[in-house]
Each structure stands twice: as C-alpha cells, then as structure tokens.
C-alpha cells in the first residue's frame, strides 16, 4: 500500500477536475475567508481549518446538564489519548495484548480495504476490550481531491463494515494525512461523523527505531494531547510499552478520544485537535 504520512500539507494550487457546478470551489473559498478572519487554525488540505480543543468541549458541556464524566474527569486528571491509524494489521494482536496488560484504552482509526476486511476478528476484539473503534476511510484516498460521491463512499464503507462487526456505528473519523476542508466537514456532518486530528506525531512511517519513536512521543506530549501512531509499521508496537510507562510516570491518565471530551461529545461536522 502507498506510504502513509501524517504530514498536514500546505495548499496545492495545481489545476484539478471540478465536479458538479463548482460548489466545492466556492465552499473552499468561503473556508479560506473564514480562516483569514481569525479562527483557531491548523493547516489541512488546501485551506486552514477551524478546530475545537478537548478543554473547550468539556467547558461548554459543564454549563449544561449535570456532568457525566465516565471513568475519568479530564478537568482534573492529566489526560492524554493514544490513537492508532491504518490498522488492523499483523501487529495489532500484539498491540492489543500490550494495552490489555497495561490497562490502557486507545482509539483506533481503521482502514477498510486490506485491513478491516482482512482482520475482522481484531476489529471485534478492539471493541470488546473497550477501545474506541473509528474510521480512517476505506482506501486512504485524500478526501479534498475526490468527488462528493467518492467521499461518501470512503466514509460509508468502513462505517458499515465496523457496525456489522461490532454492533456500533463509528462517530469519529480521521482524514488521511489530516487533509480536510469545509466540503468534507459538510459531508461528515451529514453522515454523523466528527473529525479528529492530533497534537503528537512520532512520524513512525520514517523509522523502525522504536527508541526514536518513543522519544519523539515523549518530547511532544502534553495534557489533553492526542498521540498519532501507526500499528502497521514494525517499529511502532515495540515502542508502545515504553511510551505508556514513561507517560504514566509523568502522571498522565490514558483515555479514549470520547473520554477526553467528556462530559461533552464530539459534534458531527466539527474538527477536534488539542
């Protein structure tokens, strides 16, 4: 499969095929104008994107109905979320063993083609062991470069496959390479999906050195962080025990992405990043 990258790319202005009546181009222009107006931003796709931090979600929810925090109150605890993209893979069973031994929940953003369809029992196990199972699209197509019809297919197919295996339809997705725009947001809202980016990356697609992967994560980690790793690469899973142990020693509590937002919830069509 093609190399996966967690680099959020800068704008690409090469000519591209237009779909429909040019609505996507107009929506993209509006998104750029909104960005220029001073929203909280992160680079993604060809535009800058407004994102919402976990602390903001928690604070807004606290003003509403009586709070329900689940197992951890991340207003008080030093929470961090461990996430894995592009699985399941031949390494996922070992990863699940480690997470079970360490009593750490994770969020898995799964690919459909050659992954969910190849390792359905691992998808079931992820859900059964308390991990959050989410989508990373069906075939890792860059959503900002394809038609609306293709975007819906990329998002619907893994959702349907995951729901069939686990009984639960995903509410979270991570766009390949973090590339997203206002059009993707609209389609995600239509499909009941929120987008989740990250604040910590080990760039584990560039190295099999587990010690280096560990150090990169530790150097970037902070409260409310969302760690991006890929369990498809050989150096990543061996790094996980050391990452967990070191962050626990620093006082971190590992949570899933939904738990990081509690008592708030991810809203379809919005993008979340610390």
Q: Is the pLDDT of residue 15 over 80?
A: no
Which of 23, 5, 9 is closest to 186 using CA atoms? Answer: 23
The domains found in the chain, sorted by start residue, are 54-272 (3.20.20.370)
C-alpha distance from residue 202 to each of 32, 62, 91, 102 (Å): 29, 33, 17, 20
Confidence of residue 11 (pLDDT cuts 50, 70, 90): very low
Q: What is the pLDDT of residues 137-181, one digit of tens each?
A: 999 999 999 999 999 999 999 999 999 999 999 999 999 999 999
Q: Measured between alpha carbons, how far is 25 from 40 in angstroms, rounded to an integer?
A: 22
The reported pLDDT for the residue numbered 247 is 98
Candidates 85, 139, 181, 204; catalytic one: 85
pLDDT value, residue 69: 60
Q: Does residue 40 or residue 253 have the better pLDDT?
A: 253
Q: Is the pLDDT of residue 38 over 60?
A: no
Residue 185 falls in the annotated catalytic set: no
Distance from C-alpha of 125 to C-alpha of 111, rounded to nearest angstrom = 16
- Percent of the chain with pLDDT strictly greater than 70: 79
Residue 200, judged by CB atoms within 10 A of its CB (0-12, 13-18, 19+), counts as buried
| pTM: predicted TM-score of the whole model, two decimal places | 0.83
222-266: pLDDT as tens digits: 999 999 999 999 999 999 999 999 999 999 999 999 999 999 999
Per-residue pLDDT of 44-86, as tens digits, reads 344 468 999 999 999 998 765 555 566 789 999 999 999 999 9
Q: Which among 131, 140, 185, 230 is annotated as catalytic?
A: 230
User: What's the N-to-C CA distance of the chain in angstroms?
Assistant: 30
Which of 17-31, 77-91, 186-200, 253-267 is the least confident region? 17-31
* Mean pLDDT value across residues 39-48: 42
Q: What is the pLDDT of residue 71?
A: 77
- Please confirm, yes or no, whether 219 is among the known catalytic residues: no
Question: Contact at 8 Å (CB) between 49 and 180?
Answer: yes
| 180 CB-near residues (< 8 Å, 6+ apart) | 44, 45, 49, 143, 144, 195, 271
């Amino acid at each position: 499969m093609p190399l996966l990258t967690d680099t959020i790319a800068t704008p690409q202005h090469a000519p591209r095929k237009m779909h429909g009546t040019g609505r996507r181009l107009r929506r993209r222009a509006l998104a750029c104008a909104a960005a220029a107006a001073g929203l909280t931003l992160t680079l993604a796709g060809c535009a800058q994107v407004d994102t919402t931090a976990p602390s903001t979600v928690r604070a807004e929810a606290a003003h509403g109905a009586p709070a329900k925090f689940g197992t951890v109150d991340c207003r008080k605890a030093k929470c961090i979320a461990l996430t894995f993209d592009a699985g399941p893979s031949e390494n996922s069973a070992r990863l699940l063993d480690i997470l079970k031994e360490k009593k750490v929940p994770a969020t898995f953003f799964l690919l459909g083609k050659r992954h969910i369809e190849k390792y359905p029992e691992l998808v079931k196990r992820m859900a059964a062991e308390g991990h959050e199972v989410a989508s990373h699209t069906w075939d890792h197509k860059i959503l900002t470069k394809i038609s609306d019809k293709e975007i819906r297919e990329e998002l619907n197919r893994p959702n349907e496959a995951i729901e069939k295996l686990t009984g639960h339809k995903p509410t979270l997705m991570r766009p390949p390479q973090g590339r997203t725009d206002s059009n993707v947001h609209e389609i995600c809202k239509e499909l009941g999906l929120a987008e989740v980016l990250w604040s910590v990356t080990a760039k584990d697609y560039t190295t099999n050195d587990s010690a280096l992967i560990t150090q990169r994560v530790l150097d970037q980690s902070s409260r409310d962080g969302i760690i991006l790793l890929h369990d498809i690469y050989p150096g990543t899973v061996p790094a996980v025990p050391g990452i967990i142990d070191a962050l626990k020693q620093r006082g971190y509590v590992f949570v899933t992405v939904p738990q990081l937002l509690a008592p708030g919830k991810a809203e379809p069509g919005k993008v979340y990043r610390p």
